[in-house]
């Protein structure tokens, strides 16, 4: 794969992950309690009503960090993987399968890809201040 294609793929994966996380976090803030018939997956961990807001804030923060803070991008993507692992666990506990877990699976996979691609990107294209 040429360096230009690799750079494009890296930025597309990063952009998709950032957009997905910001949208998922915003959705938790905009959702009206009891407005739809989906199960409350947060009840697996706690019955506190603030848990969805905390998760939404963490998802939005991770999306913004992934998009705009290069030094913390991999750490934020790792945090997303941890959040999505908890989301997958809650889906499994409530439904018994992963039939409604496409968003969590996609975020988990994109996070892993982002970490890998950025590590590989900087190994092959070190920043100017590191080059000899």
Output DSSP code: residue 31: P
Tell me the per-residue pLDDT of 41-100, one tens digit each, with 9 for 90 and over. Answer: 677 777 777 888 889 999 999 999 999 999 999 999 999 999 999 989 988 888 888 888
Task: Read off the tokens for 75.
Answer: 């750490």
Count of other CB atoms within 10 angstroms of residue 8:
12
| pTM for the whole structure | 0.82
Say if 37 falls within a structural domain.
yes
Domains in the chain: how many in total? 1
In a domain, 129, yes or no: no
Q: Is 131 within the bounds of a domain?
A: no
Structure tokens at 73: 């991008």
How far is it, in rounded angstroms, from Cα 109 to Cα 54? 22
Collapsing DSSP to helix, strand or coil, 48 comes out as coil
């Amino acid at each position: 794969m040429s360096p230009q294609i690799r750079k494009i793929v890296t930025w597309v994966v990063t952009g998709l992950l950032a957009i997905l996380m910001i949208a998922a976090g915003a959705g938790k803030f905009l959702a009206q309690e009891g407005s739809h018939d989906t199960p409350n997956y947060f009840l697996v961990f706690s019955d506190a009503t603030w848990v969805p807001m905390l998760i939404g804030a963490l998802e939005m923060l991770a999306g913004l960090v992934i998009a705009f803070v290069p030094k913390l991008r991999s750490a934020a993507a790792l945090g997303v993987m941890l959040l999505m692992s908890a989301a997958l666990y809650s889906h499994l506990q409530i439904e018994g399968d992963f039939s409604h877990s496409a968003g969590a699976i996609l975020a988990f996979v994109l996070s892993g890809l982002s970490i890998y691609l950025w590590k590989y990107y900087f190994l092959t294209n070190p920043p100017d201040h590191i080059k000899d």
